[in-house]
Amino acid sequence: MERIELENVLPAVFAGRENIVSDVWRKKLSFAKEKSYMIEAASGTGKSSLCSFIYGYRKDYEGIISFDSTDIRNLSGDDWTGIRQQTIGMMFQELRLFSELTAAENVTLKNNLTHFRAEKQIREWFSMLGIEDKWNEPVGQMSFGQQQRVAFIRMLCQPSDFLFMDEPVSHLDDANSKIMGDILSAEMCERGVGVIVTSIGRRLNMGYDVEIKL
């Protein structure tokens, strides 16, 4: 996939509102590979809804969302399975980790399906992000910031054209945010992925090609 496009999109819950000021809602917007985007949002402006719309979890919106000019409302269940396995990597705000599994198991569970990364690379990311000592620790016993780093690494363990992250550094310090940004910049250079990040406060620390107000 080369491009994600939104045209006159609006969450159904916002229908009837006339005073919406946004770079996203009721606009024409395009996300391209090899570019990075920061979506700044205030609470209640539809940030999580946008993530769910693009990932195909919800369809309660007006307008059109397209992947390479194909309206996503026309995609089949099999189409969505392929997209989630090969095209869009998503780091959800609530992370969706398995609390009873270790950090390593949460990541390798994904990687065993995709065979996309070598264990050496995964362990290197654990070390870079300061959680190498959490390799065999159950995720449920880790802080939320540590869990965010595990979820980030897991997201990288699948092929993708776009990486979409919903508030990925809400519980991280600036140093770890910078390391995440450096890793993403390397992924953009090596794989040509597009990077889309949302924030209602703390920003993932990297240079963005485009900044958008939701």
**pLDDT digits (tens), the chain, 214 positions:** 999 999 999 999 999 888 889 999 999 999 999 999 999 999 889 998 999 999 999 999 999 999 999 999 999 999 999 999 999 999 999 999 999 999 999 999 999 999 999 999 999 999 999 999 999 999 999 999 999 999 999 999 999 999 999 999 999 999 999 999 999 999 999 999 999 999 998 899 999 999 999 9
Token pair recorded at residue 33: 């590979």
Based on DSSP, count helices (H) and strands (E) in the chain, helices before strands: 6, 9
Which residue in 147, 155, 166, 152 sits closest to 54, CA to CA? 166
Give the CATH number, domain containing residue 19. Answer: 3.40.50.300
User: Tokens representing 9?
Assistant: 């999109």
Query: Length of the chain, please?
Result: 214
* Beta-bridge partners for 194: 162
- Residue whose C-alpha is closest to residue 206's, from 11, 187, 74: 187
Position 17 scores a pLDDT of 86
CB burial of 8-41 (b: ≥16 within 10 Å; e: otherwise) equals ebbbeebeeeeeeebebbeeebebebebbbbbbb
Domain that holds residue 68: 3-213
> Rounded to whole angstroms, how far apart are CA atoms 50 and 28?
14
- Which stretch of DSSP H or E encloses residue 66? strand 61-67
pLDDT given at position 193:
98
Residues 6+ apart with CB under 8 A from 77: none
Number of domains the chain contains? 1
Q: Please give the structure tokens belonging to residue 133.
A: 């000592």
Helix (H) or strand (E) holding 6: strand 3-11
